Amino acid sequence: MEYRKLGNTELELSAITYGAFAIGGNMWGGNEKKDSIDSIHASIDNGVTTIDTAPFYGFGLSEEMIGEALQSQNRSKVQLLTKFGLVWDGSNKGKGDFFFDADDNEKKLPVYKFASKENIIKEVEESLKRLKTDYIDLLQIHWPDSTTPIQETMEAMDLLIKQGKIRAAGVCNYDVSQLKEAQKTISLASNQVSYSMLNRKIEADLIPLTVAENIGIIAYSPMERGLLTGKYFTDTKLKENDHRNGYFGQFDLQQVKTLIEELSSLAHAKEVNLAQLVLRWTTLQKGITIVLAGARNAEQAISNAKAMDFDLTALELDFINQAISKIK
């Protein structure tokens, strides 16, 4: 495993980071608790020291399972990244930006983006309790909230740093203008954004800014929620309540299938699987600090960690980039 310094902080994070969205179950067709906890332990055993989660993942379940899994681990050797700002329990009293209706056991729960100072402090206390810890290594706003001034949100995180409850502050899904506004109040550690072979939009303007400002980039959905593993072009079927039934529709699936076929030849030659090849390519892109990879069982977790056990030559990277360039 390779460990990388996050932005201007002292945090050293594993290049492959455990992404804990799927183990929450909601939007992913459910979960198996034992498999989820086993996947966390397997990740740590294979050098993955960083775990990224959020209260919204499973409406607290993801954080709770992580807290349980880490009771047998050395907390100082693990970096916990979590978020705030998605409210589903009505505690925001209708304030914030309406985001979408989430499914919870066939019930619709309205989710709001809400990042007021009061709400941040409340959410952090709840996360600390679920995670069974007294500090969070990196706290991130989950999505921008247009109803709360960015300055107020950043001041709240600065206060939490001074109180010792968080070690660093980050954002998620911020564009260039939002990032610049936030930087007026606090020195940000990172911006967590969607990035993959099929989605490279941040290379145009966001990456140049974060490189210049020494802000880390945490890449999520590098495998486009499993699409780039290739298994959904075979016999793998999604459950009816899995959000990917709609998510995959944004892509030209025939072009993606062609890309996968081309990349599979290189993966075979290097004796790695397609997911590992995709993850390794992502870790080598300019400005990318760490890459999130979800795992629902120990086998997937070990496979993700081993993506750092090989390298890609300049010729191999050129081959991959040429294949990607054919996607329109």
Q: CA of 137: how far to CAs of 127, 202, 229, 234, in Å?
A: 12, 25, 30, 39
In degrees, rounded to 5, the angle at the alpha carbon of residue 303 between the alpha carbons of residues 24 and 142 is: 35
Quote the distance between the C-alpha of residue 114 and its chain's center.
19
Residue type, 46: N
Establish whether 57 is a catalytic residue.
yes
Query: Which uninterrupted H or E stretch holds 24?
Result: none
Q: What is the DSSP string of 58-111?
A: TTTHHHHHHHHHGGGS-GGG-EEEEEE-EE-SSTTTT-SEEEEEEEETTEEEEE
**Spatial distance between the Cα atoms of 293 and 249, rounded to a whole number of angstroms:** 21
**Tokens at 81, concatenated:** 């990244």
Q: Looking up tokens 């892109």, which residue turns up?
A: 285
**Tokens at 144, concatenated:** 């921008």
Catalytic residue among 18, 57, 195, 232: 57
**Spatial distance between the Cα atoms of 85 and 139, rounded to a whole number of angstroms:** 11
Q: Looking up tokens 């911020």, which residue turns up?
A: 174
Residue type, 31: N
Q: Which burial class, exposed, middle or buried, applies to 219 when counting CB atoms under 10 A from its CB (0-12, 13-18, 19+)?
A: buried
Q: Which residues are catalytic?
A: 57
